[in-house]
Amino acid sequence: MATLDGKTALVTGGGRGIGRAIALRLATDGARVAVHYGASADAATEVVELIRARGGDAFALQAQLGVPGDAAALWSAFERHADGVDIIVNNAGALGAREPFEDVTEAGFDDVFAINTKAPFFIVQQGLTRLRDAGRIVNVSTSFTHGSRNPDLLAYSMSKAAIDAFTGALAKHLGPRGITVNAVGPGATATDMNAARLATPEGRDAIASRSPLNRVAEPQDIADIVAFLASPDARWVTGQWIDATGGALL
């Protein structure tokens, strides 16, 4: 029997990149997967169809994050398909502009925090009545909060540092219900977010050289870590930030 048979999972930003890989992996493990998307309807539909073609169960739901009422809209869309959730993966995020500290605008700063910090906070808050006991929450963070500093992505790094704090506090709050809460911190991964940096052999080699394993992470590498945290095997792991950089922070 698959480890997640009978479970329902929500993956925000599940149509592309790391979110897509997470949705596919959780479905492979037996979960029914809610594939959330903001604007990429075709990509989310493709993920759902692929899961179903493999014998799994999934549905897509749309909600724009980072706007007033986003969490309520997401859960309203979710409830058209399911009446409860066992796994919440807060994956959707915005990198924001790569720019010097001096050039960051209030509007850009607010947009990054609205999507990366405020949306996950209220998605979980409003999801607590739907989240079953012994459930799992996994937040996708970044290596930029643990030693891999990038001054040109300061607002992004700060927004994810808030998610790390959220993870630890929420783990203590939800522990009595048997719910674990953990964060995963990827480094540079082969997704659209890093496409420009990986477009040349020189750029790819430079990123690969950061890891002792000497390669660039693929979305599946991150998805497999998330799948462990979502599984019964991770029942004694909570409040943790998991280094998912292939050793790049050593």
- Per-residue three-class SS string for 154-218: HHHHHHHHHHHHHHHHHHHHHHHHCCEEEEEEECCECCHHHCCCCCCHHHHHHHHCCCCCCCCEC
Question: Any idea which residue has 């509007």 for tokens?
Answer: 107
Residue-wise pLDDT for 69-116, tens only, equals 999 999 999 999 999 999 999 999 999 989 999 999 999 999 999 999
Please check the confidence at residue 40 and state whether its pLDDT lies above 80.
Answer: yes
Please check the confidence at residue 236 and state whether its pLDDT lies above 80.
Answer: yes
Please check the confidence at residue 204 and state whether its pLDDT lies above 70.
Answer: yes
The predicted model gives 197-211 an average pLDDT of 88
Residue-wise pLDDT for 62-81, tens only, equals 999 999 999 999 999 999 99
The predicted model gives 182-196 an average pLDDT of 88
Instruction: Give, in order, the Cα–Cα distances in Å from 33 to each of 29, 94, 183, 219, 248.
Output: 10, 22, 19, 17, 31
Please check the confidence at residue 1 and state whether its pLDDT lies above 60.
Answer: no
pTM score over 0.85: yes
The predicted model gives 42-50 an average pLDDT of 98
The predicted model gives 163-184 an average pLDDT of 98
| Confidence class for position 147, pLDDT limits 50, 70, 90 | confident
Q: Which domains does the chain have, with CATH numbers?
A: 8-244 (3.40.50.720)
Out of 23-37, 50-64, 135-149, 228-242, least confident range = 135-149
| Percentage of the chain modeled with pLDDT above 70 | 100
**What's residue 230's pLDDT?**
98
Question: Comparing 231 with 206, which gets the higher pLDDT?
Answer: 231
| Confidence class for position 197, pLDDT limits 50, 70, 90 | confident
What's the chain's average pLDDT? 95
The H-assigned helical ranges of the chain are: 17-28, 41-53, 70-78, 106-113, 119-127, 154-174, 201-208, 219-230
The predicted model gives 167-183 an average pLDDT of 98
The H-assigned helical ranges of 54-153 are: 70-78, 106-113, 119-127
Question: Any idea which residue has 């903001």 for tokens?
Answer: 38
The predicted model gives 152-170 an average pLDDT of 97
| Confidence class for position 195, pLDDT limits 50, 70, 90 | confident
| Confidence class for position 150, pLDDT limits 50, 70, 90 | confident
